[in-house]
Amino acid sequence: MSELHVCVVGGTFDRPEDSRRRSTPETVLAEGLAARGVHVTTVGHRSFVPSESYQVVHVHHLGRAALSMATAATGARFVYTAHHDPALLDPARHGDRLRARIRATQMIAARADAVVTLSAIERETLRLHLDCSPAKMHVIPNGIPAQIFFPADQHPVLGPTRRARLLYVGQLIELKGVDVLLRALAQVQDVELLLVYQDATLETTFRALAADLNLGDRVQFLGIRSAAQLADLYRQVDLFVLPSRSEALPSVISEAMLSGLPVVASAVGGIPEQVGEYGRLVPPDDVDRLATALRSTILDLRANRIDHAAIHTAAVQRFGVATMVERHLALYRGLLAAGEPPARHRVRYGPANAAARLALRTVGDRLTGRGLLERDLPRLVGMS
């Protein structure tokens, strides 16, 4: 087989290089493939154009490039990673706008040659909602650079008089459950919380809540940190906490485990698969259970019952970049070796579907970034 040429598409590549977020699944995959000698082209949703020069186009997230590839006349195999939160695939809870996004994803998945999910629970949920063939779906967790996230040579000793240091990394939005975490923190003595975030939507609200709970200097709102700064923080704290109401497979948990940290998190999405025996899981929105899990983990730390090296080793095996790249390469080569035309070329279009195909192409040309224009989505659904 000639040199493999893969186009990796993601919204992060629409941004200037110096303003892109720290390592994302798209950038880590692209760099890992290139290191294996694969010819890699990276492009954003806004600037993507289908090309015969690509053998595989791997699109991350629902956006313009996904719609473009759904009807592209090229021979490239189309791999799609939705990065969907399984809880969001319940249209009855989330209304017409989300229902339209799900319908658009259904059309894209039907025309993709492979759909990658990050966890088994996401695969099963997507399979049911997308009516997608199990043979088309592949579970490949995101790979996290172990050369950035690794344990401290000597983990901080949590003696009987020192406050335990908790780290939260996420956004300050309702979905992440930071309000639950602050209320749980009020029930746990001798502990302090560091909050790292980019989206500060509810920062004012959470600062007020922390004040109402008399948490004082026990909560630090740190804001944005670079990848290197964040990696240092992981090595300076005692445990990682993520009280989300909904998740898919959060990279921050993988980063924390690579850094040798025990995890306390909500049992949602793929988190139970991710954490395994290396942490404690609690129901979302349960302040008392979260407080109990925090106290129990702190007791284990004080008694030196946490094996930081074992946590790191398990994370490397599950979430290492090399594992993730190898599994993607096997998928790409398998699609090409099968010798079948791309799935989108095998879709039979009746009169109604022909309108949907036109809508896909038309709307695909008018999208900005990876976000869909909301006024176009209902039209897509109505014409399918």
Sheet-wide strand order for 263-266: 219-223, 191-197, 164-170, 239-242, 263-266, 279-282
Exposed, middle or buried, 256 (CB in 10 Å: 0-12/13-18/19+)? buried
Domain ranges of the chain: 5-143+321-383, 164-319
Residue appearing with tokens 């950038």: 27
Q: Which of 86-90, 128-132, 309-313, 369-373 has maximum average pLDDT? A: 309-313
- Could you report the per-residue pLDDT of 169-202, keeping only the tens digit for each? 999 999 999 999 999 999 999 999 999 999 999 9
For the segment 258-292, what is each residue's pLDDT rounded down to a tens digit?
999 999 999 998 999 999 999 999 999 999 999 99
Cα–Cα distance for residue pair 60/375, rounded to 1 Å = 22
Q: Alpha-carbon distance 223 to 274, whole Å? A: 26
pLDDT score of 68 more than 80: yes
- Residue 126: CB atoms within 10 Å: 22
Apex 69 CA angle, 63 and 72, nearest 5: 145
Q: Which residues contact 221 (CB under 8 A, 6 or more apart)?
A: 195, 197, 203, 206, 207
| Rounded Cα–Cα distance for residues 161 and 164 (Å) | 9
SS3 category, 282? strand
pLDDT tens track for 312-364:
999 999 999 999 999 999 999 999 999 999 998 877 655 445 555 555 555 55
CA distance 189 to 166: 12
Domain 5-143+321-383 and domain 164-319, same fold? Reply is: yes
pLDDT at 370: 42
The pLDDT value recorded for residue 356 is 53
Task: Using CA atoms of 223, 224, 228, 232 in order, give the dihedral in degrees to the nearest 10.
Answer: 10
Q: Cα(292)–Cα(283) distance, rounded to whole angstroms?
A: 12
Which strand (E) or helix (H) includes residue 223?
Answer: strand 219-223
Q: Tell me: domain 164-319, CATH 3.40.50.2000, correct?
A: yes
Residues contacting residue 360 through CB under 8 Å, at least 6 positions apart: 67, 70, 71, 107, 380
Q: How far from 127 is each of 115, 122, 130, 360, CA to CA, in Å?
A: 10, 8, 5, 22
Q: Tell me if the pTM is above 0.75.
A: yes
* Tokens read off for 196: 């790292």
As a whole number, the mean pLDDT across the chain is 88
Q: Is 372 exposed, middle or buried (0-12, 13-18, 19+ CB in 10 A)?
A: buried
Smallest CA-to-CA distance from 28 within 138, 145, 119 is with 145
- Give residue-wise pLDDT tens across range 201-224: 999 999 999 999 999 999 999 999
pLDDT at position 367: 46
Instruction: Specify whether domain 5-143+321-383 bears CATH 3.40.50.720.
Output: no
What's the helix, strand, coil split of the chain in %, to 5?
Answer: 50, 15, 35
Mean pLDDT of 25-45: 95
